[in-house]
Amino acid sequence: MAEDTWLRIQERFVSVQGEGALVGVPSSFIRVSGCNLRCAWCDTPRTSWAPEGEAVELDALVRWCAAGPRHVVLTGGEPMLFAASAALSQRLRAAGHHLTIETAGTRRCPGIAADLMSISPKLGHSTPWDRARAQAKLALAERHERDRLDLAVLRELTAGFAWQLKFVVRCADAASVRADLDEIEDLLAALEIPAKHRDRVLLMPEGVDAADLEAGYRVAAPLIVERGLRLGLRLHIQLYGNRPGT
Ligand code: SF4
């Protein structure tokens, strides 16, 4: 198969969009396998730390989406790594789908098309120093730290697409939330995000189940609101827990 006619897919399923401005909208999810980052708390390790999946032709993906909801989410892993993501994005939009691309915003993908670029820049706490030390793979953590933010790519994505920014925030205590908020504010300033667009910046607690999230919201909500930023839901985790296929 030619390189741009297939993608390695870790899973695909129909569910509700759990995060961002379109939370609650029924959507087909296509999760590509492969990521250039290695977040310490990655919630889809089968696309990053231990990638798996089968090659699926774009024709089959387009047919599968045609039988599902109008909204489609191309996620990963990192879909922007693959030229075939651009081809798929164009075909899905031509077929009348609303397409969200979920990306960490570190890579360009020439020709990519999207109705919503959902960008999740990775904060300092994502770097897996402890895990890499334990596995004697420090180079992995160093690469992640070097690559997790690319201001030029983030500027291009926020200038070229309808966008939202999503951040995972540590909510162990008020101090950890404040530290993350400061880092987020620095990034928003560097990207020159205008005040009128702060409602496109969604902050979500780290957590693997509804109890985690509820505790996180209680700590973080007042601090996030105080800064004029937006609380982000993680409806899929509240409904189903951190389970594949949801
Ligand atoms: S960018 Fe996403 S898929 Fe990649 S390691 Fe981080 S959380 Fe996992």
Q: Give the Cα separation of 77 and 36 in Å (integer).
A: 8
Pocket test for ligand 1, best of 31, 35, 46 (most atoms within 8 A of CB): 35
Run of H or E including 202: strand 201-205
Q: Which CATH architecture has domain 3-172?
A: Alpha-Beta Barrel (3.20)
User: 3-state class of 94 per DSSP?
Assistant: helix
CB of 79 within 6 A of ligand 1: the answer is: no
Pocket test for ligand 1, best of 19, 36, 42, 81 (most atoms within 8 A of CB): 42
Q: What are phi and psi of 201, to 5 degrees?
A: -110, 110
What pLDDT score was predicted for residue 201?
A: 97
What pLDDT score was predicted for residue 74?
A: 98
Q: Outline where DSSP puts E strands in 70-156.
A: 71-75, 98-103, 116-119
The answer to whether 141 and 186 have CB atoms below 8 angstroms apart is no
The answer to whether 166 and 119 have CB atoms below 8 angstroms apart is yes
Alpha carbon separation from 76 to 28, 43, 176, 180, 205 (Å, rounded) = 13, 10, 27, 24, 20
What pLDDT score was predicted for residue 38?
A: 96
What pLDDT score was predicted for residue 1?
A: 67
The rounded Å distance from CA 196 to ligand 1 centre is: 29
The rounded Å distance from CA 178 to ligand 1 centre is: 23
Angle in degrees, CA 46, 215, 206, rounded to 5: 25
CB of 193 within 6 A of ligand 1: the answer is: no
Q: Give the Cα separation of 204 and 232 in Å (integer).
A: 5
CB of 35 within 6 A of ligand 1: the answer is: yes
What pLDDT score was predicted for residue 242?
A: 75
For the chain, list residues with pLDDT below 50: none
